[in-house]
Structure 1
Amino acid sequence: MQIALAPMEGLVDELLRDLLTRVGGIDWCVTEFVRVSDRLLPPAQFEKLAPEMRRGWRTDAGTPVRLQLLGSDPACLAENAALAAELGAPVIDLNFGCPAKTVNRSRGGAVLLDEPELLHAIVRAVRRAVPAQVPVTAKMRLGYSHPDGALECARALAEGGAAQLVVHARTRAEGYRPPAHWEWVARVQEAVRVPVYANGEIWTVEDWQRCRQVSGVEDIMLGRGLVSCPDLARQIVAARAGRTPEPLEWREVQLLVGEFWRRARQRIAPRYAPGRLKQWLAMLTRSYPEASALFAELRRENDCMRLDALLGVDLDREPAPSEKAFSVS
């Protein structure tokens, strides 16, 4: 079984990828999408969304990082994929699942699921442009407005050269509303000869067990569920091995939140850092009642120094080993 951390634009950046992979259980993760339109991007554009390229395309915990591209021009995507491969990207992932209206209006993401021929052309062009040892993978939804063409899209991607598919088991029209249609993942896996990952609506170990039973696939990609419960992957690994999962206690999650804020203060402009903190903390409220109390205390505060005090973070003092969250030796 493989467990992947989903690419989530504006949320799962290098900072959160690092902290979540430190907790454990994640086999690989994917960058936020690099938007490709009509030109060859400079290397700095890849490094902006994938700072891990400076560390051999791995997080500090050693977890491999794939580069995700989004666009609709096969030739331009191929050219940029070739450059990314030269920069060391171990895997090129293609985004055909983003539901954002602004992305879809510019012919990116899930809107392309109405054009299976174009899906095939994009993957084929990228596959031909990168070295044979660099896999090309793809993430898709079940369709734009309905799932009728899901199998045709999956076959188009696989036949174009995708070595692996991640299926978010909802259409673009369904957004993130439950339920996720895991039975369609089973149908996709029957339709293609490449590994298929199930994605969508896995919040707990029990959800994973039901997804596995319904979809029939072993591999999964976790998104909001893992951001809301940082040790969900680790719990699933334990359950898969027949062990009783031991969830993180709130005090351990607090260490993660404090470390997140410390690093956010160092890397993110003060006007944006509080919003990033609150965004993650709001998601943690789903799994931890204590997070709700902390979020209520912080939600109207935007002064970084006051947030330092509320979180007990002293930027002038290096945290002691016992205070560091899941340090990597």
Structure 2
Amino acid sequence: MNIILAPMEGVVDALMRDMLTRIGGYDLCITEFIRVVDQQLPARVFTRLCPELLTGGKTFAGTPVRVQLLGQEPNWLAENAVRAVELGSAGVDLNFGCPAKTVNKSRGGAVLLKETEQLYRIVKAVRDAVPQQFPVSAKIRLGYDDTSLTLDNAAAIAAAGANMLTVHARTKTDGYRPPAYWPWIAKIKQHVSIPLVANGEIWNATDAALCRQQSECTDIMLGRGALALPNLARTISHGDAVMPWPRVLELLMQYSEFEICGDKSQYYSNRIKQWFSYLKLQYPQAAELFVQLRLLRKSSDILHTLQQARHSAPA
């Protein structure tokens, strides 16, 4: 049973991966995607999004990190996949699920789910180029507009040599609206022999158990749920109790101190508010505190408000 931390652009960056894997319960992290167009990218592009490459391809807690690539040109994706593993990535993941309009307009992400043959060509080129000891995985949705190509797409990716396939159990058109259609993953499992990972709408340990039952997958990927409940992985893997709110406040303070001192300090205000948009789904206290934070712009004001909340929270 493996639990994988999902890639979420602009949200699950190296700092968030570090914090969540220190809490524990994760077996693998996938990075935010690196966009590949028509060139081999320099090492600094990889290390900017995946600084773990500079420390053996693992987070501080020892969790392996796999670089994700997004693009549509097989040969350039293959060349950059080789570069990723040479730099220390624990394999390569290919993004065929991103629903963003700007990405889809440039023929990347979920729009490729309309092109089964292209999926095959991309995965095969990458698998042929990357040394066999490094896994090549892919992430898809059930389709773009509908599920008419779901089974064909999964079969093509498997036939091309992928070692693992993560399925976000919704179409691009579904977006992130519940529910996630986990039984579809069980259908896919009947048609492919490679390991499948179930993803979508897992917010607590009960959801995880139901997802595993309906998808017939033991491996799962956590995304938004991991941000709403910072110890979600451990509640699933170890039966831990939900992290108490005072501990969450401590985590927010640690995050703030690292973010403000880091090279992305100008984004701190937006980042912390974005995290609160998930936390308030799990913690009523987060919803109350967000009312105070949402109008603040200065990092110092936000930090002061968090400090006050931590001091007034029950032990």
- TM-score bracket, normalised by the shorter chain, equals over 0.9
Query: Which residue in 2 is equivalent to 1:111?
Result: 111
* Matched ranges for 1:2-17 at <5 A: 2-17=2-17
Amino acid at match of 1:225: G
Aligned counterparts of 1:95 and 1:115: Cα–Cα separation in 2 = 14
Listed one character per residue, the Cα deviations across residues 4-54 of structure 1 (whole Å, up to 9, x for unaligned) are 000000110001111111111111111000000011111000011101111
**Aligned-pair RMSD on alpha carbons?**
1.1
| Residue equivalent to 2:252 | 257
Superposed CA offset, 1:279-314 (max 9, x none): 00121000111111211111111111222222239x
Structure 1 match to 2:154: 154
2:310 equivalent to 1:311: no
Residue deviations 1:170-207 (CA, integer Å, cap 9, x gap)? 00010001111101100111111110010001111111
Aligned residue number for residue 185 of structure 1: 185
In the superposition, the TM-score normalised over structure 2's length comes to: 0.96
- Name the count of aligned residue pairs: 308
Are residues 1:215 and 2:212 paired? no
**How far apart are 1:268 and its partner, in Å?**
4.2
User: What SS is found at the alignment partner of 1:230?
Assistant: coil
Counterpart code for 1:133: Q
Q: What is the CA–CA distance in structure 1 between the aligned matches of 2:9 and 2:79, rounded to whole Å?
A: 23
Map of 1:319 onto structure 2: none
The one of 268, 278, 283 equivalent to 1:283 is: 278
Report the CA distance between 1:238 and its aligned residue: 2.4
- Give distance in 2, aligned partners of 1:205 and 1:80: 37
CA distance in 1, matches of 2:89, 2:57: 7
Q: Which runs of 5+ in 1 are unaligned?
A: 240-244, 314-329
In structure 1, C-alpha distance between the alignment counterparts of 2:69 and 2:283, rounded to whole Å: 34
Give the whole-Å Cα distance in 1 for the aligned partners of 2:118 and 2:273: 39
Q: Give the 4+ runs in structure 1 shifted more than 4 A.
A: none
Structure 1 counterpart of 2:313 = none
**Post-superposition shift, 1:124?**
0.5
Give the Cα separation in 1 of the matches to 2:220 and 2:268: 31
1:37 and 2:32 correspond? no
Pick from 264, 271, 296: which aligns with 1:301? Answer: 296
Measured in 2, the distance between the counterparts of 1:294 and 1:23 equals: 23
For residue 202 of structure 1, what is the aligned residue in structure 2?
202
Residue aligned with 1:312, SS: helix
Task: Give the letter aligned to residue 9 of structure 2.
Answer: E
SS of equivalent to 1:191: coil
| Long gaps (5+) in structure 2 | 309-315
Match in the other structure for 1:320:
none
Q: Distance in 2 between matches of 1:224 and 1:288?
A: 14
Equivalent residue runs for 1:12-31 within 5 Å: 12-31=12-31
- Per-residue displacement from partner, 1:79-122 (whole Å, max 9, x unpaired)? 11111121121210000000000000011000001111100100
CA distance in structure 2 between the aligned counterparts of 1:263 and 1:67, rounded to whole angstroms: 23
1:129 aligned partner: 129
State the partner residue of 2:84: 84
Indicate the SS of the match to 2:175: coil
Counterpart secondary structure, 1:272 = helix
Q: What's the counterpart of residue 101 of structure 1?
A: 101
**Cα distance, 1:271 vs structure 2:** 3.3
Mapped to 1, the partners of 2:149 and 2:261 lie a distance apart of 46
Deviations 1:143-171 (A, max 9, x none): 00001111100010011110000000000
The verdict on how the C-alpha distance between 1:270 and 1:226 changes in structure 2, with shifts beyond 3 A counting, is closer
Instruction: Name the SS of the counterpart of 2:143 in structure 1.
Output: coil
Code of the residue aligned with 1:98 in structure 2: it is C
Q: Secondary structure at the match of 2:45?
A: helix
